[in-house]
Structure 1
Amino acid sequence: MAHGTPPFNALYAFIVTAKHLNLTHAAKELFVTQGAVSRQIASLESYLGFKVFFRHARGLTLTTKGAEILPDIKTAFQQVLSTTKRAMKSSGEIKLKAPTCLMRWLVPHLVKLQDDYPELHVALTSTTEHDIDFAAEEF
């Protein structure tokens, strides 16, 4: 029965397993073995004191209680992810990606910027490409 802090890895394994309703597919997404996912789910069920999945020969289905808690657990994890992402963005780090041909001009200006604002950390990546995909890259 419940005591102490909930097993966070097991909660995340629950979310991923519920998405796939298959231990093998969940294991692939989590980069662990099927047995590891199964143990995480068993750990969560032990902590909660009830089953979250019915196991079948060809997969899983959520129990009534499993389906009941899943939305809140997903929301909580999403909130943790967005909070940590927001905290990382406000850390005073600037990530720049600039073509190599611009370095001679840019580097002295970055040195001055860091002298003027020592709380900033500038991470500079040089490239030979002249395009950036802002949706895929954090520059």
Structure 2
Amino acid sequence: MSATADHAEERANPLARLGFQPGQVVQELGYDDDCDEDFRDAIAEITGNELVDEDYDEDVADVVILWYRDGDGDLVDSLVDALTTLTDGGTVWLLTPKTGRDGYVEPSEIGEAAPTAGLTGTTTTAVAKDWSGTRLVAPKTARSGGRK
């Protein structure tokens, strides 16, 4: 596929730039009435799978999306819980309300909580009208099977 086609696909489906791919199992934590249904539907469409919830224990998840708002409890604990079913090399997308929205989470809180949970933030981007997403991964030094 050409670079132009890749860019056209990303514009047509913004989730492609977030790394969601066909066949992935995506676990969703922290769902509530304020979550963005279009975003959820788009994930299911691109992966070809319905999102699984916190009771999922069949196998491992490739991606975890964690809806988190200020007041939802301890962020470190929530991030550690997100790692429970995550496959090696998987991604956690921490979804928080945008600035000025109810439940907004300060970036400094995310910056402090992620390393405590064993994660590193790589990208923060708008994922929906009212939500921002921070992509979190395990540091390369902690991953098994690293290159030599």
**1 or 2, which has the higher strand percentage?**
2
TM range (shorter): under 0.3
TM-score normalised per structure 1: 0.25
